[in-house]
Amino acid sequence: MSLTRRPLSAASHGFTLIELVLTIVILGAVSLILIPFVNSIVHGPDPMVRQRAVALGQALMDEIMAKRWDENTPVGGGPICSGESSSKATRPSLVDNCGAPGARTASAIGADAGETDRTLYDDVDDYNAMAEEVDTFHDQRGTAFSLPGYRRKATVRYIASSANPIDQNTPAAPGTTDTKLVVVTVTSPTGEIFYFVAAVTNI
């Protein structure tokens, strides 16, 4: 019995090295074109997401900054007694005021008696009692609107007037001071965190 070898057809050959190299080069060139295109589609909404986050934070910060420094601040403004103001010999009027019988003193951080919701907040530190808003938000009149995926909260604390730098991480002062730090934090659906920081003083 004799065996005969059949000639291999052209279709049964594998890829040559040149064909493999050309394929890799072509795929690399296509990926350079497609990757930016895909990224632009994936991140296309980002500017709008950021714009909404900034609008949410700025609206709440504007609302807070329009309020009085403290529950005991006179209508129209004016300094009241605090841990720092009572020791400022360079401002005798404050020292005299703080030493006077029945002088006004700064109230504790948080909502004051009877201020059960945000529509009743009348001074800056009331907003430290504001619950974090998630997906559903309210303006200062209590009107609700929906922005799914967003979160917003406010914190207020006393800080030293000499704190440097003043940012969202500035620690709370050990007592009542003449300076309050307001931090509004907004988290977007993409996980980005936006901080809005303001310092308000007892003047």
pLDDT, one tens digit per residue, over 61-97 is: 999 999 999 999 887 888 888 888 765 544 444 444 5
CB under 8 Å, gap of 24 or more: what pairs does 189-194 form?
189/49, 189/148, 189/149, 189/150, 190/46, 190/49, 192/49, 192/50, 192/53, 194/50, 194/53, 194/54, 194/57
pLDDT, averaged across the chain: 83
Domain extent listing, the chain: 68-201
SS3 64: helix
- Model confidence at 194, pLDDT cuts 50, 70, 90, reads very high
SS3 86: helix
Q: What is the pTM of this model?
A: 0.73
Residues linked to residue 144 through DSSP beta bridges, in sequence order = 138
Q: Above 70 in pLDDT, residue 118?
A: yes
pLDDT at 8: 53
